[in-house]
Structure 1
């Protein structure tokens, strides 16, 4: 099964519920280390590494020549679900992983029970669009780790975000230059896709967990939540973009309670 994403499961002795964790660009499933202990007390867990990331970095040799699309990256996850015979699950994502989860809900809504979207990216503002465009122009000239380091610093500038920043930079070092360029190009497709998502309110319970200091992404999330009747927002004070690392206890408590509440309502 070499064409499957690298994945790891934690089985619960009695629960039938599955939670699937989707990391962001440049990360890997290891960024969920502060969630596993709390979550595995209640659910079966599936952690995976997106293509080119973590331990999925040697796979998909046949796809290496093709550009990535959000659809192809999302389909990788569906294949793992099929392989494990998981009909439907709760999805927890961070940063760019939230777009992939939202896309999965669009492509296969019957597979998604609830969505927990941390540090959600719902729109790139003028500043981040400029960064992506500048990065796209320079990506053949500037070493990609410089670019990634700059991005990490712009998205997570505060001292309190140092742990998150270093975690992502260390994970990104495991990406090869070609892989980085493919994911970077994908970032340019974010806005048209998110415009479409903004206009469509899916009937899937969705919890946005955002840091109050996540200045690049929190405003568009607030706009989205005000328009969508199945979406909810919890904001953490003095917290930045990667709220599952900065405020793990709050992240775990709010997200687990949300999943359990909707699980009971569905039952």
Structure 2
């Protein structure tokens, strides 16, 4: 099996297909590398596409202690895969947990990113929701360790921003739930504690966002409630960002509506590769509503 090794000795399993300008796909908490299959097939026709299992997600290593998991680790694991494959720059496409890693990659390693897709990002980001989110992280981790993955998957898969997927595509949802049940309970619990529960609020990253120049696409479903306000925040604060909202969609947008997801992301990457992605005109941020002053 192909593995990349991180600076702290963790082996990350990866797969790749295609040739051309590289795209790295970074998965969400409830998914794994398999969730990007429809994107690997689609974009692999024109690009070199890479996806990998995050630490804690077999066949990648599952470190035993939560201290081995953090937002910085998740971000630098993208870099470890790219370095192993001798990729200087890539488009980085992440969803949810992977979207947070993509954003932080742009903040910490901007010279290595051709562009960023920051999709489904916002859970626990709003200041008045942080305590609630962290309390739920503890509940999730406890459930994972006490009940195991199959029992956890039967509950977690039916969250308020995932039922849209079940209603739209029962067959795809069933596969998603089956694969979730196959994850490592220890790895998932440690990911919750070390990465999800301790990551900084997006609202504490505004200064860094304002300095970003990497072309960025913020993407969310319109029924992914925890991500709507944070998506607007990122659109407003990142000068190189655009915002796309997928109608009647929840959280798992790359699986729930892959055709629309691929079209939006593909158009974005094509503009970036053509050198046509704009940076916001400062005049668009006028304090005036109409541009007319009394």
| TM superposition score normalised by structure 2 | 0.78
SS at match of 2:25: strand
Listed one character per residue, the Cα deviations across residues 84-118 of structure 1 (whole Å, up to 9, x for unaligned) are 11001001111110011112222211111101122
Partners of 2:235 and 2:241 within 8 A in 1: yes
CA-based RMSD of the aligned residues comes to 2.6
Q: Which runs of 5+ in 2 are unaligned?
A: 278-294
Show the 5 A alignment for 1:45-194. 45-56=49-60, 59=61, 63-65=63-65, 67=67, 68-121=69-122, 123-125=124-126, 129-130=131-132, 132-137=134-139, 139-140=141-142, 142-145=146-149, 146-147=151-152, 149-154=154-159, 155-158=161-164, 159-160=167-168, 166-185=174-193, 186-190=195-199, 192-194=200-202
| Range with bigger deviation, 176-185 or 165-174 | 165-174
Are 1:240 and 2:250 an aligned pair?
A: yes
Match of 1:41 among 38, 45, 50: 45
1:136 Cα deviation from its structure 2 partner: 0.8
SS at match of 1:136: helix
CA pair 224-108 structure 1, distance change in 2 beyond 3 A: closer
CA pair 262-135 structure 1, distance change in 2 beyond 3 A: closer
Are 1:226 and 2:236 an aligned pair?
A: yes
| Range with bigger deviation, 24-33 or 257-266 | 257-266
Partners of 2:29 and 2:97 within 8 A in 1: yes
Listed one character per residue, the Cα deviations across residues 143-164 of structure 1 (whole Å, up to 9, x for unaligned) are 2544554443223233237566
Aligned partner of 2:286 in structure 1 is: none
SS at match of 1:195: helix
Q: Provide the C-alpha distance between the structure 1 equivalents of 2:90 and 2:73, rounded to a whole number of angstroms.
A: 20
Q: Provide the C-alpha distance between the structure 1 equivalents of 2:43 and 2:270, rounded to a whole number of angstroms.
A: 11
Aligned partner of 1:7 in structure 2 is: 14
Listed one character per residue, the Cα deviations across residues 194-231 of structure 1 (whole Å, up to 9, x for unaligned) are 23333322111111221111122122212321232211
CA pair 163-215 structure 1, distance change in 2 beyond 3 A: farther
Tell me how many residue pairs correspond in the alignment: 259
Aligned partner of 1:199 in structure 2 is: 207
CA pair 127-224 structure 1, distance change in 2 beyond 3 A: same
Partners of 2:154 and 2:177 within 8 A in 1: yes
Q: Provide the C-alpha distance between the structure 2 equivalents of 1:232 and 1:183, rounded to a whole number of angstroms.
A: 29
Partners of 1:98 and 1:121 within 8 A in 2: no
CA pair 140-40 structure 1, distance change in 2 beyond 3 A: closer
Q: Which runs of 5+ in 1 are unaligned?
A: none
Partners of 1:54 and 1:171 within 8 A in 2: no
Q: Provide the C-alpha distance between the structure 1 equivalents of 2:224 and 2:91, rounded to a whole number of angstroms.
A: 24
1:127 Cα deviation from its structure 2 partner: 6.1
Q: Provide the C-alpha distance between the structure 2 equivalents of 1:92 and 1:174, rounded to a whole number of angstroms.
A: 24
Q: Provide the C-alpha distance between the structure 2 equivalents of 1:122 and 1:252, rounded to a whole number of angstroms.
A: 23
Q: Provide the C-alpha distance between the structure 2 equivalents of 1:168 and 1:121, rounded to a whole number of angstroms.
A: 21
Q: Provide the C-alpha distance between the structure 1 equivalents of 2:174 and 2:96, rounded to a whole number of angstroms.
A: 15
SS at match of 2:132: helix
